[in-house]
Structure 1
Amino acid sequence: MSTPQTGTPGSGARASARTGRHALAGVVAAALMFGGAQFVSAFLAPASSPLVAAGAWFIDITPAWLKDLAIGLFGTADKLALGVSIGIMALIGSAAIGIVSRRWLRAGLLMVALIGAALMAAVGTRAGTNTVDLLPTAAGTVLGLAALRWLTTRAARTGATHAGEVRTRPAADRRSFLRAAVLGAAGAVVLGAGSRVVEAVRGGVRQVREAIRLPAPTRPAAPLPSGVQAPVAGMPAYTTPNAQFYRIDTALVVPEVDPGSWRLRVHGMVEQEVELSYAELMESGLVEADVTLTCVSNAVGGDLAGNARWLGLPLRQVLERARPLPGADMVLSTSADGFSASTPLEVLRDGRNALLAVGMNGEPLPLEHGFPVRMVVPGLYGFVSATKWVVDLEVTRFADKQAYWTARGWDERAPIKLASRVDVPRGFARLPAGTVDIGGTAWAQGIGISRVEVQLDGGDWREAVLAAEATVDSWRQWSYRWEDAEPGDHTARVRAYDATGAQQTGERADPIPNGASGWHEVRFTVG
């Protein structure tokens, strides 16, 4: 008695191959959809790109703890990590749609249409977009639908059966499908590359920036005193180069704001609304200031802090023109990409170097750091003060308005905490036997650093040598020479004191909701 056959030899392999071809059809169709949309968006605003809109939407809905985790894991590469994650999800999703389309083409086409509609909705929610900005997503969706139908039809012909028999030309059909898939993939690459060419030719804002010559400040910053750099090899520069300055913001793609059309609107609880152009700002009598900026997500000992010489107009002068009304206690600043920050009104009027900055270390602001205009406010973490690409200042009250991150559970005022770190040696460094030079940085903005102490291997605290102080609004470096270091594993810990004598707390706190705290330590090996 014979055993019934459940399938012909090789049927499983053929089924897997067919599934793979349909998955490939979905991936290529998605590539054409997004490539086409990206190409059309190159002629419009960056926010019109569905990829940018989807990424920005994801950032907007990210809870504070996840955002802080991402920055902790990836640092300034957080946006690259997000892009890779979105790419992987898109790859998996498009392959799944291709597989669904094998049996239910209409279902696959409907899924693509729904995704296109969702992306159009995401584009429509971005700041500064209009109906025209929906065209790239619409065009890409149409291209994706056509590509999915075309490739699915070709994939279906490959290995099709008649009365249970395999067609006699499966190899030819496979070659035909693969040629179609390669053609589609090549088209997606061409569209993607074409969008970069269009952006490069248009160039616009970057070329405008390169042509700008900053005016001389009416109040220059004092020359840096001799000795601001601690005499320890490997220490970061006292003034952070622009290319090395940390960048943490919510913009997936850097906004390109034309200074010729830039306007700053000051309104809300004011006697007189004010509108300021870039040309007026540049002619308003700018001042220089050395100010250290710190991200609230900076972990204990982290590198999300940088020091620069900024050029800008004091914000108090702008507010004096607007004349805030009694009862106002907050300025809600808004970026060209929709980000907002809540800054205490008194901080912008108390005489500190709170600026509408146009220059950074002697050149116009880099696009990544807020060109054409950003806010720089000493003493507050960046998420409540350092709005890049700023276009709007609303004088209001904390009781009436919330900013981007405060609405997500972060502190609404967020003064920068007294902090210090060990920069040299790096963690787990191996050093030659003999004298060990230790160096680091400390900051207490608006107050200044009066003393730094180092603890070695849990022993007594030893006083470090302070480098010269340039200004209380910028960090101060320190050094310590350990001349009796013995071979083996060691730990160095640091703590600082501000100019009032207050000691940096050793109590550990996470960045959420108002900044990390604790004493930084590094482990290293001698000999």
Structure 2
Amino acid sequence: MRRPLHTALAGVVATLVLFGAADLLARAFGPPAAPLLALGQTIIPLAPAGLIKPVIDLLGHNDKLFLILTTGLGALVLGGLIGWLASRHLRAATALLGLAGLIPIVVILIRPEAEAPDVIPTVIGLVLGLAVFRLLISLATRPDVENEPESESESESAAPSRRRFFVITGVFGAAGAAAVAAGQTVASLALDAGAAVAKLVLPKPAKTAPPIPASAHPDVKGLAPFVTDPKDFYRIDTALAPPVIDPEEWSLRIHGMVETEVVITMDELLQLPLNEHHITLTCVSNPVGGDLVGNATWLGYPVRELLARAKPLKDADMVLSHSIDGFSASTPIEALLDDRDSLLAVGMNGQPLPPEHGFPARLVVPGLYGFVSATKWVTELEVTRFDEKTAYWTDRGWDAKAPILVASRIDVPKPLEKVAAGDLAVAGTAWAQRSGVKRVDVKLDDGEWTQADLGDEVNIDTWRQWKTGFSDVKAGSHTVTVRAIDQDGNIQTPERRKSIPNSATGHHHIQFRVE
């Protein structure tokens, strides 16, 4: 006779052993071999578009960890249900556990970056998980006494058996959990692919970005740095862990509606005259006043020069960029052919791209939100048409072209901050790519708009920082609101809307308290 609670626990622990052993062994193979990563990566494209934005808003950079945890929890629940079935139908439950274990193997095989040997850790984990399952089931089985109450002697003899079951189950469960903690998934979420990055030595720029004057950054404590450190630069993408790509094996293929297909390797790319530019990037998911925006100095080669080699056909109006992780972005071809500084970038702030920001190469296109322009880990540029091809996010209801709108943010004071009565310093950041920021207005409570002092403009494709102040601010709760105006006279709209299909809008305002 098998108790359902015991067999359910056996299923949970067997699942934990399966994933723990596979994840630990995957350390010797790389991220594509980790079953939790593979399952989570497969779930991402299946998530409803309406669910993604709230998750990003709620969890921010922890969204990937949340997905991994929920994927693992789902696997444990499934293992428990299969174990519960074993209390009545052991053979069927064992078969189901084996079939469930085949799912991550299939998922790994269909991942574009995976190779056949990458399934080895999961196969071994499945064998160990099935063995542990049968062992624990045997320990959980006791003789059927045909509904008669246990005698005192039977109860006494059953107690050590139950204790043995829970001790052995606990040991296997702890071992499985420790293996997951030491495995490839945790390592990939916590660490970058430093060894691959170390292989890449960037050449000196043929064209160096002009120095950033001190006057571009107002001297106000708490204002974001003018150049964002890579570790603080926002990360929004569809990869649970940054792909580990050997730059010596990387190449970019330009194909589709072109006269000549072009393939360029990293060695060839680094031999070209690379340009350095200061460019701000922002995510369409950025809420009003949010931090999904950053400014960096990028090193790369003009995309228009690469496309010129391929000679796009005159009917083409879009370039569909493909990432090694299966992501794609639809960029208007004119944004890659005009005079803006659209780059196939290999460097960020004087160093090779960090893995989480696209190493070894990514697109950087000023004036467009990242989901249609800033493909990381890029491997293909497919010249095509908007009426023939769609991209990852446009398939989910987002805008196909997505020009960046004029926007602004308050950095000082912080929301709900307590400040001293008297003079109040206010500062922040504004951006209006392809036009430039002309003016920033700020108001306190329901007062009149006050024109802020602008930091010097570095170029029209970087953000512009600002500061202002209000004197003799009395104690109590107050609100500060900001708006920006671009060089074309477009005033940041006060109308509130959600980010889908093309950016959240509205004036950023924060509440604070004067004491």
TM-score tier by shorter-chain length is over 0.9
Q: Is the 8 A contact 2:218 2:466 kept in 1?
A: yes
Distance 2:226 2:330 in 1: 29
In 2, Cα distance between equivalents of 1:204 and 1:510 = 33
Residue 211 of structure 2 corresponds to: 223
8 Å Cα contact 1:105/1:149 also seen in 2: no
Judge conservation of contact 1:225–1:469 (CA < 8 Å) in 2: no
Q: Which residue of 2 aligns with 1:74?
A: 59
Q: Deviations over 1:291-327 (max 9, x none)?
A: 1110110011111001000111111111111111111
Q: Distance in 2 between matches of 1:332 and 1:387?
A: 10
Deviation of the 1:180 alpha carbon? 2.2
> Could you say which residue in structure 1 is the equivalent of 2:355?
367
- The match for 2:462 among 468, 474, 478 is 474
What SS is found at the alignment partner of 2:231? helix
Cα distance in 2 between the residues matched to 1:137 and 1:196: 12
Aligned match for 2:21, one of 36, 42, 58: 36
What are the superposed Cα offsets for residues 59-78 of structure 1, whole Å, 9 maximum, x if unpaired? 11111110011111111111
- Deviations along 1:332-368, one digit per CA (max 9) or x if unpaired, are 1111111111111110010111111111111111111
- The Cα shift of 1:329 comes to 0.9
Find the counterpart in structure 2 of residue 261 from structure 1.
Answer: 249
Task: Verify: 1:506 aligned to 2:494, yes or no.
Answer: yes
Aligned counterpart, 1:52: 37
Q: Does 1:313 align with 2:281?
A: no
Aligned to 1:515: 503
Structure 2 SS opposite 1:484: strand
- Alignment-derived partner of residue 462 in structure 1: 450
Mean CA deviation greater in 441-450 or 40-49: 40-49
Q: Root-mean-square deviation (CA), in Å?
A: 2.2
The answer for the alignment partner of 1:5 in structure 2 is none
**TM-score scaled by structure 2?**
0.94
Tell me the amino acid that sits aligned with residue 479 of structure 2: T
* Matched position secondary structure for 2:496: coil
Q: State how 1:91-102 maps to structure 2 within 5 Å.
A: 91-102=76-87
1:25 and 2:10 are equivalent in the alignment: yes
1:112 is matched with 97
Within 2, Cα distance between the matches of 1:521 and 1:489? 13
Structure 2 stretches of 5 or more lacking a match? none
Give me the whole-angstrom Cα distance separating, in 2, the residues matched to 1:161 and 1:101. Answer: 19
In 1, Cα distance between the equivalents of 2:145 and 2:139? 14
Instruction: Identify the match of residue 85 of structure 1 among 42, 45, 70.
Output: 70
Residue 134 (structure 2) pairs with residue 146 (structure 1):
no
* Structure-2 residue corresponding to 1:164: 148
Do 2:31 and 2:185's aligned partners in 1 also have CA atoms closer than 8 Å? no
What is the Cα deviation at residue 446 of structure 1?
1.3
Corresponding pairs, count: 509
- Structure 2 counterpart of 1:355: 343
C-alpha distance in structure 2 between counterparts of 1:323 and 1:343, whole Å = 17
What amino acid does structure 1 have at the position aligned with 2:290?
G
Q: Alpha-carbon deviation of 1:211?
A: 4.7
CA apart distance, 1:182: 3.2
Specify whether residues 507 and 225 from structure 1 end up closer, same or farther in structure 2 by C-alpha distance, changes over 3 A only: same
Is the 8 Å Cα contact of residues 23 and 184 (structure 2) preserved in structure 1? Answer: no
Residue deviations 1:446-500, cap 9 Å, x none? 1100100012112211111111111111100111111121111111111100011
Q: State the alpha-carbon separation in 2 of the partners of residues 415 and 113 from structure 1.
A: 49
Q: Which residue of 2 aligns with 1:3?
A: none
How far apart are 1:434 and its partner, in Å?
1.1
How far does the alpha carbon of each residue in 1:401-422 deviate from its partner, in whole angstroms, 9 at most, with x for none?
A: 1111111111111111110111
Q: In the TM superposition, what is the alpha-carbon distance from 1:190 to its structure 2 partner?
A: 5.8
Q: Distance in 1 between matches of 2:465 and 2:420?
A: 24
Cα distance change, pair 525–238 in 1 and its aligned pair in 2 (3 A) = same
**How far did residue 130 of structure 1 move?**
4.1
TM-superposed CA distance for 1:19, in Å, is 4.2
Q: C-alpha displacement at 1:242, in angstroms? A: 0.8
Paired residue secondary structure (1:178) = helix
The structural deviation recorded for 1:188 is 2.2
- Give the whole-Å Cα distance in 2 for the aligned partners of 1:328 and 1:197: 41
Change (3 A) 1:269 1:140: same
Q: Deviations over 1:415-451 (max 9, x none)?
A: 1111011111111111111111011110000110010
Provide the rounded CA distance (Å) in 1 between the counterparts of 2:183 and 2:289. 41
For the residue of structure 2 that corresponds to 1:113, the secondary structure is helix
Alignment partner of 2:472 out of 476, 484, 488: 484
Q: CA deviation at 1:163?
A: 6.8
Partners of 2:368 and 2:316 in 1: CA distance:
19
Decide which moves more: 452-461 or 132-141: 132-141
C-alpha spacing 1:100/1:211, structure 2 compared with 1 (3 Å): same
- Which stretches in structure 1 are left out of the alignment for 5+ residues? 1-13
TM-score (norm 1): 0.92
% of aligned pairs identical?
47
